[in-house]
Chains A and B, each alone.
Chain A
Amino acid sequence: MVAVFEELAGLDRLIHEPARLSIMTALSAVQSADFTFLQQLTGLSVGNLSNHLAKLEQAGMVHIEKGFVNKRPNTMISITAGGKQSIEDHWQQLEALRKDSQAWKKSQPE
């Protein structure tokens, strides 16, 4: 079980936060998406989503491009190659953790 805790401690906390995990999961499935889509999908408020995106951008996980569509401001967000690798690694880590904890449960006497 110690190994499980060690792995838990090694999780990327930037991505592991639920809202950012949702954002990164969504972005990893598309080429790019706008701010409204991410807001609808995650249910986050404008301020919250902006903060999370700023943190992800600072870490080089996402690329943010501001522009105009039909004379209205539009922000498109895409995941970077590094971001994609990080989210894939993260899901693999979580899956490994799940398997480890299941194995540990089975090994416990009833």
Chain B
Amino acid sequence: MNAPSPSRIQFIALNYSRLQGLRILPLGLVLFAITLWRNLIHQPFPLRILPQLLILVAAALLYWQIDHYYNRVFGRVLQVPRGHLDWLLYLAGGALGLAAFFAEATFPHLPFSPLGLVLAASLLVDYLMLANVTQVRYMPLWPAFGLLIAFCSVLPLLGLDSWWKTIGAQTQLIGMLRAAGLIMAAAGIASHLYFVHMLPGSAQHGRSV
């Protein structure tokens, strides 16, 4: 048995729920799937709203299954309650996200995506909060996904006007949400694989995805 180092043990224990990457998968899929239904906006009421409601219900069910899976296979942990600074950061992030969403909806021809930049910043801040616990050597993929979202956000500034049309979106906002959804889903799966790899018990019992 290769016992993990004390710093790794402390890192996993302190960030247990954050490291469970699949938890972000439903959010990524919701963002991606809801933007696909955006084209139905001119349809009559039930057809316009029903698919989105179904997507939300499916995502909630998926999250419940993922929660059950993590608890059953990897165990339950009651974490130390978060500090005031954490809550303040979450609130500030949420407010910034809403402001960015409305800014982008109001000014659709901005040469960058404020919402994309806020999403990218939130992934990077989340990573820094993780890394701050011990050293910066864990979760190397997380900031890379944040940088990828940031890169998509500034594509018009780099000369790629209307890049969102290549992924079938009508506006930058929809394109950004669609791309962010896909990137978040990929980040979730990659983080999950990394999480499983970090646990010696998983390797020993041959448990993976």
Residues of A at the B interface (CB closer than 8 Å) are: 18-19, 21-22, 25-44, 69, 74, 76
Contact = CB atoms under 8 A, between A and B. Distances in A.
Nearest to A23: B9
A76 to B, nearest CB: 7
Tell me whether chain B's interface is mostly helix, strand or loop, or mixed.
Answer: helix
A30 B13 contact: yes
Contact of B2 (A19, A28, A39, A43): A43
Interface stretch (B26-34, B45-53, B77-85, B168-176): B77-85
A30 B9 contact: no
10 contacts: A22-B3, A26-B12, A33-B75, A39-B201, A41-B199, A41-B200, A41-B201, A42-B3, A43-B2, A76-B78
Contact of B12 (A31, A35, A41, A76): A41
Contacts of B14: 29-30
Chain A interface, DSSP helix/strand/loop, else mixed: helix
B204 interface: yes
Interface string B22-44: 00000000000000000000000
B165 interface: no
Contact of A43 (B6, B16, B200): B200
B10 interface: yes
A26 B9 contact: yes
A61 to B, nearest CB: 16
